[in-house]
């Protein structure tokens, strides 16, 4: 069985600065998703403008841009069955106060402007975001030893 759906998950500057990287990665690993790309980056303004292209007309965009430029971001790509939808569920609602306990945002965030992480909201946006943040050769193809214990 091939599970080639991929999603882009970024741990934002507040999550990196607060030392939440291992806790967040662990949620995806524990669920059974496969990590196929990871790097710590200081994003450029042009990368962020392209990534958040759909939000540039919003009044909060300048503060979002400033926040995302304030420190390093951990960019990751995860692969697995229904990983885009499931990744969003693991992250919780965009507004942390509406996120259930047990989700990343429900456990680690309070303000929407410091919501710890980003997750693609569709397969199409995942493909776009992965292409913005990663070169094709930075993504790894492999079959985890535990694969048959996760998928039928």
60 known member of a binding site: yes
Determine whether the annotation assigns residue 18 to a binding site: no
Count Cβ neighbours within 10 Å for each residue of 10-33 and write b for 16 or more, e otherwise.
bbbbbbbeeebeeebbebbeeebb
State yes or no: 12 annotated in a binding site: yes
The secondary structure of residue 101, as a DSSP letter, is B
The answer to whether residue 51 is catalytic is: no
127 is an annotated ligand-binding site residue: no
Residues paired with residue 27 on neighbouring β-strands, in sequence order: none
What is the C-alpha separation between 5 and 51, in angstroms, rounded? 20
Residue 95 assigned to a binding site: no
Query: Pick the catalytic residue: 75, 118, 130, 134?
Result: 118
88 is in an annotated binding site: yes
Distance, in Å, from the CA atom of 95 to the CA atom of 112, rounded to the nearest integer, reads 5
Contact assessment for residue 76 and residue 126, using Cβ atoms and an 8 Å cutoff: no
- In the annotated binding site, the residues are 12, 60, 88, 94, 105, 115
- In the annotated binding site for ATP, the residues are 12, 60, 88, 94, 105, 115
The residues carrying an active-site annotation are 118
């Amino acid at each position: 069985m091939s599970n080639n759906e991929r999603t882009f998950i970024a741990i934002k500057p507040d999550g990196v600065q607060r030392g939440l990287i291992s806790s967040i990665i662990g949620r995806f690993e524990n669920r059974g998703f496969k990590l196929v790309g990871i790097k710590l980056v200081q994003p450029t303004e042009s990368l962020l403008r392209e990534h958040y292209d759909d939000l540039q007309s919003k009044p909060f965009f300048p503060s979002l841009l400033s926040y995302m430029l304030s420190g390093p971001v951990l960019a990751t790509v995860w692969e697995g069955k229904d990983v885009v939808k499931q990744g969003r569920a693991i992250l919780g609602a965009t507004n942390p106060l509406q996120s259930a306990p047990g989700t990343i945002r429900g456990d680690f965030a309070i303000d929407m402007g410091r919501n710890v992480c980003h997750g693609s909201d569709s397969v199409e946006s995942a493909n776009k975001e992965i292409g913005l943040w990663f070169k094709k050769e930075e993504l790894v193809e492999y079959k985890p030893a535990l694969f048959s214990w996760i998928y039928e």
